[in-house]
Amino acid sequence: MLIRTTYILTTTLFLAVGSLSADTKENADWREYLGGKGRNLYSSLEHINRDNVSKLRIAWRYETGDKAEYQANNLIVDGIVYTPTPTRKVIALDGATGTVRWIWDPAKDGPGKGSARQRGLVYWENEKGAERRLFTAVAGMLFALDPATGKVIKDFGKEGAIKLGSGLNTPGVVYKDLVIVGGVGGKGAVRAYDVRTGSQRWIFHLIPRPGEVGYHTWPKDAYKTATGLMPWCGQSLDEKRGIVYVATKTAEPDFYGGRRHGENLFANCVLALNAATGKHIWHYQIVHHDLLDKDLPCPPVLVTVTHKGKKIDAVAQGTKHGLLFVFNRETGEPLWPIEERPVQASDLEGEKAWPTQPFPTKPPPLMRQKYTEADASNISPQTHQLTLDRIKASPNFGPFPAPSLKETVMFPGYDGGMEWGGGAADPDGIYYVNINEMPWLLQMIETRKADGSKLVRGERDYMIFCGACHGLDRKGNLLAGFPPLLGIGERKTREEIELITRQGGGRMPGYAVMPEGKRKAILDYVLNYKAPSASRPETGAPDPKVDKKQPPAYAFGGFRRWLDPEGYPAIKPPWGTLNAVDLNTGEIKWKVILGEYPELTARGIPPTGTEIYGGPLVTASGLIFIGATADETFRVFDKENGKTLFQAKLPFSGNSTPSTYMVKGRQFVVISASGGKSGRPKGGSLVAFALPE
């Protein structure tokens, strides 16, 4: 079966996406996350163009005071910049000068200080503009703020907030008087709330209940115990058709599916829902029974293309493995055939890896799909030999290796390919996106002993829920942003740690629905357990509850970037690229290196690209603006050929997606710059570029 899609026809009108609200000759806003409800990162502004872009200068800069992953795509409404910080403050700034208008601090007014990345806000106003609200999330709560003052609007929910029961790092989207959101952590769902009252108007269960579409793709009654699937990366909206498009996450545990056999709908899906009712329209599953954390990393992008001589309103979905899927927006029918190809079988007891995975015949992959011996690093003779030896010992099996007790090179990697920065698309049907080509390592571990003896209480659940990030040895992975847990009881109280497990923090999602007994056991293990000494081996007695006839359980051995001895990606460059894809023809228009390590260039090595986090912005004047790279540089490219037209240093890497707007005839491009990724310096700067006055 080549196509696994449910179809429904709709006959409503074409949606023009990407236009800016409140445009005049003198002023233009950026009122939606990623530039519009179509999430296509396109601006019609032309004041900054090919002829004058070389004159760009920093117009103003604002320091948030944070030193964390500041990844906001900022909103601009009526000339006011609204930015959400990693500590979940919301700050309003004058768009022309960067002067503070107001600051809302949840540590002083709300649930307390936040500590997780936040990529954007939701703005709503009624048709006459008399009612206006700004929505932000903190600690599993959705707040409504007055955009004029920053004060909480008390008639929304209970004293200005509603309880989501999950974290929210990417903003929702507004349809009429509904705000539609996903979340992070907990049982999978898409929900719509009344923008005025906060009452829930509809919910779509991503882990289907009996009688719902997709129920048969899980074990019986899986919805009672299964978790994951929360659509953390955001949604897009065809407002005229009334369709919301959702990109969903992997089911949990991410790397072992022995307790969730089946395709697992609606995990890893592009999902089209009726925006007014939440009713299922169509879906396509990008990864079946995902075992590799290949959650869809960015919102679907709405774009119009010419296909077989006809104008078609399409939706394009990027993936972590660098494949781009393009569908008819109304029907879900692929624009080009998608083939189900065989992938590696699993050798873990109890696991049933899905035998095939979907591969689009067009567009071609935007990155290498396999690490071969020819891809061994060429940065130095020593690195070449080391990477060659490693790939021979831990071979790569393409984008879908089956998790095993044997180590393998995971390439494409866990962070893309494409990632949460998203892709941009212009009215000509050209799609622009940055790509990571970073290798990682994959290995599973057994979570109980071969003789059936029990693990220390809480240890198994720690391995499953925590070990992947904080390490099985609890030593953490600071390079990836995961702190060590050894000695954490000396740095934080138990109450503080428990709060983080509930609401999340840093890169960690909240586990609000975790049973209290399980939470307590994990905390006991983390805070109290000491590894056995060599003189006192801990064998343990056989656990009478363990049935040796049942398949063993496994846990993921941790997120491990594969770096060479110098700290660079252990693969032949390029490590990061910027790509233009013609979605009318399905062909790659151009590809250029994105990012540079000056110290390598000084050694005579051509620019390699870097690991990239953040997305591009494309304008009607033919420009692409992007930060994202690990070299603290902001760049502008010609959208026709990928030629670099401008670059400037940022105080920290711009691991976010820029916004553009106009105030009194002057166009600005603003980007959040915090670094912190790829082992780079970190801070919290908001930087606005403009032409000299």
pLDDT in tens, 96-134: 999 999 999 998 877 777 767 899 999 999 998 899 999
Number of structural domains found in the chain: 2
Helix or strand holding residue 306 (H, E): strand 301-307
Which pLDDT score is estimated for 113?
72
Do 500 and 596 fall within a single domain? no
pLDDT bin (cut points 50, 70, 90) of residue 16 is very low
pLDDT tens digits for 448-469? 766 666 677 888 778 777 876 7
620 and 683 share a domain?
Answer: yes
In a domain, 235, yes or no: yes
399 found inside a domain: no
CA angle 373, 374, 379 (to 5 degrees): 105
Alpha carbon distance 653, 680 (integer Å): 8
Query: 537 falls in which pLDDT band (50, 70, 90)?
Result: very low
Which pLDDT score is estimated for 13?
A: 31
Helices (H) and strands (E) in the chain, counts: 6, 40
Residue 376 is assigned to a structural domain of this protein:
no
Asked if residue 564 is part of any domain, the answer here is no
526 and 659 part of one domain: no
Q: What number is the average pLDDT over the span 380-398? A: 94
What is the pTM assigned to this prediction?
0.88
Q: What is the mean pLDDT of the chain?
A: 90
Kindly state whether residues 577 and 499 are assigned to the same domain.
Answer: no
User: Does residue 528 or residue 268 have the better pLDDT?
Assistant: 268
The C-alpha atoms of residue 563 and residue 578 are separated, in whole angstroms, by 22
Model pLDDT, residue 186: 78
Determine whether 565 is exposed, middle or buried from the number of CB atoms within 10 Å of its CB (0-12, 13-18, 19+).
Answer: exposed
Q: How confident is the model at residue 261 (pLDDT cuts 50, 70, 90)?
A: very high
Residue 321 lies in a domain: yes
Same domain, 353 and 501: no
Upper half-sphere CA count for residue 344 (Cβ side, 13 Å): 16
**Phi and psi for 520 in degrees, rounded to 5?**
-65, -45
Tell me the sheet residues that pair with 143: 136, 161
Are 486 and 600 in a shared domain?
A: no
Do 463 and 604 belong to one domain? no
For residue 10, the model assigns a pLDDT of: 33
Residue 560 lies in a domain: no
Whether 547 shows a pLDDT value over 60: the answer reads no
- Three-state secondary structure readout of 374-420: HHCCCCCHHHHHHHHHHHHHCCCCCCCCCCCCCCEEECCCCCCCCCC
The answer on 204 and 326 residing in a single domain is yes
Which residue matches tokens 């990571």? 436
User: Is residue 23 pLDDT above 60, yes or no?
Assistant: no
Domain of 623? 5-369+412-438+573-690
Confidence at residue 479, expressed as pLDDT on a 0 to 100 scale: 65
Q: Residue 42 pLDDT > 50, yes or no?
A: yes
Residues 463 and 599 occupy one common structural domain = no
Query: Quick check: is 202 in a domain?
Result: yes
Same domain, 190 and 144: yes
Residue 535 vs residue 607, higher pLDDT: 607
Q: Once rounded to an integer, what is the mean pLDDT over residues 636-663?
A: 98
More confident residue, 229 or 287: 287
Q: Do 621 and 502 fall within a single domain?
A: no
Mean predicted confidence (pLDDT) in 255-275: 96
Q: 């008390």: which residue's tokens?
A: 154
Q: Which of residues 521, 551, 581 is at a domain's end?
A: 551
What single string gives the DSSP state of each residue in 520-578? HHHHHHHHH--PPPTTS----PBPTT--TTSPPPEEE---EE-B-TTSSBSSSSPSEEE
How confident is the model over 155-189, as pLDDT tens digits? 999 999 999 988 899 999 999 999 999 998 878 99
pLDDT of residue 610: 98
Least confident interval from 139-143, 570-574, 665-669: 139-143
Q: Say yes or no: 535 and 657 in one domain.
A: no
Specify the CATH number for the domain of residue 685: 2.140.10.10
Residue 15 confidence (pLDDT) above 60: no
379 belongs to a structural domain = no
Query: Percentage of residues in the chain with pLDDT exceeding 90?
Result: 76
Question: What is the signed CA dihedral for 285, 208, 329, 37, rounded to 10 degrees?
Answer: -110
Q: In this structure, what CATH number is given to the domain that contains residue 459? A: 1.10.760.10
